[in-house]
Amino acid sequence: MSRLVLVLGDQLSPELAGLQAADRAADIVVMAEVAEEASYVGHHPKKIAFIFASMRKFAASLRAAGWQVAYSEFDDSENSGSIAGELLRRADQYEASDVVVTEPGEWRLIEALRDVPLKVEMLEDDRFLASHAEFERWAEGRKALRMEYFYREMRRKTGLLMDGDNPAEGKWNFDHENRKPAPDEVSFGGPMQFTPDEVVQEVLDLVEARFGDNFGDLRPFWFATDRSQARRALSKFIREALPKFGDFQDAMLMENRFLYHAVISMYLNAGLLTVMEICEAAQDAWQAGDVPINAAEGFIRQIIGWREYVRGIYFLEGPDYTRRNALTHDRDLPWLYWGGETKMQCMARAVEQTREEAYAHHIQRLMVTGNFALLAGIDPAQVHEWYLAVYADAFEWVEAPNTIGMSQYADGGIIASKPYVSSGAYINRMSNYCKSCAYSVTTKTGEGACPFNLLYWHFLDRHRDRFEGNARMGNMYRTWDRMDAERRKTVLSDAQAWLARMEAGEVV
Ligand code: FAD
Ligand code: DLZ
Ligand code: SF4
């Protein structure tokens, strides 16, 4: 009897555990575009289009390789609207009762699949370097789960950038070389862009009709939607941008949205690229002398270090992780995150680029939109929903630890040893946003003072009990305490007044 083999929209890899375990002559691959997945948050239209188009092309490639695929298009009249519903419908159609699934990247869906009244076998998703058991073993008994030590294990395990038992060029981490401010000119012309083919065009029309009101511009649409395109995008990045990736990793520019970033996270997360093919390409370029060690190491660390580590935390911490709120922040997400007018140039540009590209690079997410939400005391659950919705690469296993943990400190410090907060000075150093902002980054109080300056002290003051004793934050509190009492009072009341204006819906 045939079994059903579920392949989700972010499992588009021929080496997927479920496909490896299946019998291509007898089993039926089930793929489904469904309303439930397309609307658990208001996904950016580009993200939905990317997933649907990539799913359709992956299904075609499976058929060409001899698989029988039962594919539900979004508008199929019999489409039940959920993954569980489609499994039941296909089970009925093919008289199957056994289902093989590869573990989804979200607790919500894992739980939904466990409840399906069929015999569901859930295989671990082994497209990652570290299994759940391996991460648990690493975490066991440690007082602090710091990424750096986990990363070294992954270097040893993969042999990437290793010289025998030692790290290549003598150091595990070259991060201190990777903090150059924004350059005057960027030599990389940006990620490879693809003209929509017939499959993509059809999906774009569908998404426009069904999700046209979601936040985000659908067109122009230029993402890769299959493996061979994604590989070409990767090659262009390695050749043209990786050499400078390290140097300008943290920089931000008004005129350039991508700088030297790879813009491959959506391809990697959906399964169009593999961890090892990306990292080996970077290592090869370093071995060939085309890329300096700070760039190759910095880039590989993001993938085998940060990406694997945050996934480990998501599964270790369990389904309630997205509801954590250690700092009891409860302000509603302001409208400016959805494109409402704001005078803050950095926020306006980060949101504008998010709306147009479904992409912002790490420092824009962490030190602009994330920093602002943390300083302003926004409810982390709403911040989490926003990040999950607006980026093409957003799947909960990777988005939630980055947002709840790294960015909002809502997990109480599991991921971040101190909150990622900064005043306007950091944004000014790393970008050219402040030059054309209505606020003055050097003004600390009163009319025109940069809100990041006001809110920074407001944050530290209101969370004094929690952070005063943090060794990495002592300097901040000493600076605050050295200010004269009257000035401190003014900063706090200006911050309060500014927040009140924002809450009242004024353009701030
Ligand atoms: P590059 O800067 O070129 O880095 C190369 C690759 O490293 C990325 O493609 C990505 O796969 C990996 N990587 C880098 N940093 C991280 C990280 N912190 N966690 C996991 N992988 C990383 N990344 C996602 O893939 N999905 C998300 O939903 C997501 N949400 C985020 C939310 C917040 C609040 C923050 C601060 C970060 C988030 N990140 C997320 C991490 C990071 O911002 C993106 O991976 C990166 O911006 C993707 O762009 P890129 O491909 O140009 O990355
Ligand atoms: C994100 C997404 C969207 C928008 N649509 C679908 C879909 O219609 N069908 C599907 O199988 N997967 C989709 N996905 C990806 C899933 O939401 C993702 O597999 C889970 O969130 C787990 O990571
Ligand atoms: Fe952002 Fe402040 Fe700079 Fe304006 S002055 S761009 S609000 S950091």
| DSSP string covering 82-131 | SHHHHHHHHHHHHT--EEEEEPPSSHHHHHHHHTSSSEEEEE--TTSSS-
Q: pLDDT per residue over 423-481, tens digit each?
A: 999 999 999 999 999 999 999 999 899 999 999 999 999 999 999 999 999 999 999 99
Q: Which of 4, 5, 10, 58 to mutate to test the pocket of ligand 2 (most atoms within 8 A of CB)?
A: 10
State the pLDDT at residue 1.
78
State the pLDDT at residue 318.
98
| Residue 457 Cα to ligand 3 middle (Å) | 15
Q: pLDDT per residue over 160-178, tens digit each?
A: 999 999 999 999 999 888 8
pTM score:
0.98
Taking the C-alpha atoms of residue 321 and residue 415, their distance in angstroms, rounded to an integer, is 12
Taking the C-alpha atoms of residue 271 and residue 9, their distance in angstroms, rounded to an integer, is 9
Q: pLDDT per residue over 133-154, tens digit each?
A: 999 999 999 999 999 999 999 9
CB burial of 18-30 (b: ≥16 within 10 Å; e: otherwise) equals bbeebeeeebbbb
Taking the C-alpha atoms of residue 11 and residue 397, their distance in angstroms, rounded to an integer, is 13
State the pLDDT at residue 306.
98
Verify whether ligand 2 is closer than 6 Å to residue 86 (CB atom). Answer: no
Verify whether ligand 2 is closer than 6 Å to residue 105 (CB atom). Answer: yes
Verify whether ligand 1 is closer than 6 Å to residue 365 (CB atom). Answer: yes
The one-letter amino acid code at 143 reads K
Taking the C-alpha atoms of residue 409 and residue 416, their distance in angstroms, rounded to an integer, is 7
184 pLDDT band, cuts 50/70/90, is confident
Phi and psi, residue 392, nearest 5° = -65, -25
CB burial of 118-140 (b: ≥16 within 10 Å; e: otherwise) equals bebebeebebbbbeeebbeebee
Taking the C-alpha atoms of residue 304 and residue 128, their distance in angstroms, rounded to an integer, is 9
Q: Which of 393, 397, 421 to mutate to test the pocket of ligand 1 (most atoms within 8 A of CB)?
A: 393
Residue position matching structure tokens 């996904």 = 43
| Residue 9 Cα to ligand 2 middle (Å) | 5
| Residue 178 Cα to ligand 3 middle (Å) | 23
Distant-in-sequence, close-in-space partners of 207: CB < 8 Å, separation ≥ 6:
45, 48, 49, 52, 218
Verify whether ligand 1 is closer than 6 Å to residue 322 (CB atom). Answer: no
Residue position matching structure tokens 């990040």 = 387
* Long-range pairs of 104-108 with CB within 8 A, sequence gap ≥ 24: 104/8, 104/11, 105/10, 105/311, 105/395, 105/396, 105/397, 105/398, 106/395, 106/396, 106/397, 107/318, 107/319, 107/396, 108/40, 108/319, 108/396
Angle, vertex CA 29, rays to CA 27 and CA 34, nearest 5: 150
| Residue 346 Cα to ligand 1 middle (Å) | 19
Mean pLDDT score, 416-429:
97
Nearest to 11 by CA among 51, 65, 71, 43: 51
| Residue 44 Cα to ligand 3 middle (Å) | 26
| Residue 403 Cα to ligand 2 middle (Å) | 19
Taking the C-alpha atoms of residue 329 and residue 412, their distance in angstroms, rounded to an integer, is 12
Q: Which of 51, 87, 207 to mutate to test the pocket of ligand 2 (most atoms within 8 A of CB)?
A: 51
Which ligand has the minimum distance to the alpha carbon of residue 394? 1
